[in-house]
Structure 1
Amino acid sequence: MNRSACILIKIPLNRCFADVPRTISQLLFRRRVFTDSLRFSSPVSLPSFSRFCSDLSPLQSQKILCWKCGAEFDSNAERVNCSECGIIQPLDKEANFFTYLGVPLAFNLDHDELGKKFRGKQAIVHPDKFAMRSKDELQHSQQHSTFLNDAYRTLRDPFRRANYLLRLIEELDEDLNDPYLSSLKKLMMT
């Protein structure tokens, strides 16, 4: 095999990704999408994302106003209702699936805890609860419910969860210009 055609990235894993398959070829093989076009002379290790974990952690609180009563309260990706009047708030545009469900930003998740968080949040935001309320409240509940279902569907599947984490990190990569992440992104796009 021609050495110039091989790509080798050696970056240590961190504790957030301790049980992620150690090579891209292992990950692809497990999902049965390994092809002859992906041949590596040696394993391509997944990168360490520990320095990014704090950047992807739950969003910092910002003061926002309730759309109904005007009360000021701290924004939180997990928060759904106003702390004063209890009215459902619009979906936070900056929320990610992890912060919205209140689970740690990590590859390894407790599936029982994830299911409990999903069911608890769904009991709060389900559109059926808002059928007799205002159009705005119904619309907000539909936004939350759609986002919640997407979050749960993504986070319960290891392959989708890994892809989602890579997309979150890719967003940071645009600002950070990290050569390792750029190499991994190019490799994943081919």
Structure 2
Amino acid sequence: MWGGRAGSLLRGWGRQLTGAPGRRLLNCRAASQAGNSAPRCWKCGGPRGPAQGDGFFCPQCRALQPPDATRDYFSLMDCNRSFRIDTTKLQHRYQQLQRLVHPDLFSQRSQTEKDLSEKHSTVVNDAYRTLLAPLSRGLYLVS
């Protein structure tokens, strides 16, 4: 069902964490209780972040997380922050992100994940439309 990068992200969640020799490994909850200041997962309470892929999913429970409000459209769409961008690469990234967060994929999930999926999808659509058109891209750059 999941191919490409999405499949590798999903398969990667099952792997064990490795640490430095002589250091005790902590699970998500223990790491967050040990003073980790990373944002926490809304579902399991574990730390979330860009440790897995783009940080869209909790590495522990795989629940979709809220969009990062501090992330700009260029980093979201994996583009250089300049006026000249590769629109083919932009389109591929758009399709890749929609395969991860599109609301149709979350129809059997909790209402929270459905809502988060809609938010992510909206942000991805806005980023794509903004960066695709030269005028809006330029205005976004100067804002």
CA offset at residue 120 of structure 1? 0.3
d(CA) in 1 for partners of 2:74, 2:54:
9
Structure 1: tracts of 5 or more residues without a match: 1-61, 168-190
Distance 1:156 1:120 in 2: 16
State whether residues 58 and 65 of structure 2, in contact with CA within 8 Å, keep that contact through their aligned partners in structure 1: yes
Give yes or no for contact 1:88–1:141 (8 Å, CA) kept in 2: yes
Q: CA deviation at 1:153?
A: 0.4
Residues 134-168 of structure 1 deviation map (CA, whole Å, 9 limit, x = unaligned): 1100000000000100100010111110000111x
Query: What amino acid is aligned across from residue 118 of structure 1 in structure 2?
Result: Y
The match for 1:147 among 108, 123, 134 is 123
Match of 2:45 among 70, 76, 79: 70
Q: Does 2:68 match 1:80?
A: no
Counterpart Cα distance in 1 of 2:109 and 2:49: 25
1:39-118 equivalences in 2 (<5 Å): 63-75=38-50, 78-118=54-94
**2:48 and 2:55 in contact (8 A); partners too:** no
Q: Does the 8 A contact of 1:64 with 1:75 survive in 2?
A: no
**Sequence identity (%):** 36
Distance 2:77 2:100 in 1: 12
RMSD: 1.8
Show CA shifts across 1:84-128 (max 9, x none): 221110011112111222222111111111111100000000000
Distance 1:63 1:75 in 2: 10
Contact kept in structure 1, 2:49 and 2:58, CA below 8 Å: no
C-alpha deviation, 1:75, in angstroms? 4.8
1:17 maps to what in 2?
A: none
1:130 aligned residue: 106
Unaligned runs of 5+ in 2: 1-36
2:57 match: secondary structure: coil
Amino acid at match of 1:84: Q
**Whole-Å Cα distance in 2 between the matches of residues 166 and 111 of structure 1?**
19
* CA 103–78 in structure 1, closer or farther in 2 if over 3 Å, else same: farther
- The equivalent of 1:180 in structure 2 is none
Residue by residue over 1:50-100, the C-alpha shift from the partner in whole angstroms, topping out at 9 and shown as x without a partner, is xxxxxxxxxxxx711111111113358942111222111001111211122
- When normalised by structure 2's length, the TM-score is 0.69
8 Å Cα contact 1:103/1:114 also seen in 2: yes
